[in-house]
Structure formats: structure tokens, C-alpha cells
Amino acid sequence: MSTLIKILISLAIYYNFTEFKSEYQSFTQEKTLEQSIKDGQWVYEDFCMRCHLPTGKGVSGVYPPLAQSDWLVDKVDKSIASLKYGLKGEIKVNGETYNNVMPAQGLSDEEIADVMNYIMNSWDNTQEDMITPKQVKAIEQK
């Protein structure tokens, strides 16, 4: 009888451990690009849309466009850094000069990755390489 109890206890412990491990793996799995884009839309609407507008076209001479932006595509790390640390000073986007201040928004690395994925895949922008929170974390202030 005591052997049967030991087996049942062992099975119960094993079952509980594997169930927990399975839930933990689901929780820590990385997002798909599609999910990141969807989450990034919320971030964009909350933090970016006031200046860059719902169309991503910005305001000429004041807020640079994100739609079809050469600067965004050619300078991905600088784009990430501008979200993470803010941006001031002159930049040239699609041949037009902008010299305004964009303050850091206080976003997490995951929120920055999500909004970058949203921006890079909206308004005729197409970027297949997914920005990850790990990539955002690696960007340092210069």
C-alpha cells in the first residue's frame, strides 16, 4: 500500500511540474510579428499619433513623416534610440530638414519594439525583419 501512495505522490508532483512548465513556456514565448504590430498600433495611437498623425505623414517642416520614411528605414537603430531616449537636433527625412525635439516617451523595450513593428509595417512601409525587445534593450544612448 505504501508503494502505491509513493507512486501516486510521484505522479502528482510530476503532473504539477509539467503543467507549470507548460504554462510558463506559453507565457514567455516571444510574440509573432502580427501580434507585435497589433500591440504597436495601441502604442502609436497613445503616444505618436498626435504629432505624426493617423496617416503617419507628420507635419511638413515640424514633425517628420513615418510613412515611407527613408530615415526610418536607413537608420533603424537611431529610430529605436529616438523612441527610447528622445531626439533633438537636425535630421533629414525624405530630403526635408527637421529640427525639433521629440522627448522620450517612457516606453518599455517591448512597447518600443511593438510600435516600431507597427510603424515599419504601416502606410506602405514593409519591413519583414521584426524588431525585438532584446534588440531595443541593446540600443545605448549616444
Candidates 94, 64, 78, 95; CA nearest to 131 is 78
Length of the chain counted residue by residue: 142
CA angle 92, 36, 56 (to 5 degrees): 35
Mean pLDDT, range 46-55, rounded to an integer: 96
Q: Each residue of 30-60: b (16+ CB within 10 Å) or e? A: ebebeebbebbbebbeebbeeebeeebbbee
Q: Is the pTM for the entire model greater than 0.75?
A: yes
**What confidence tens digit (pLDDT) does each residue in 63-105 have?**
999 999 999 999 999 999 999 999 999 999 999 999 999 999 8
pLDDT of residue 17: 54
| DSSP H stretches of helix in the chain | 2-28, 33-43, 49-52, 70-74, 76-85, 109-119, 133-138
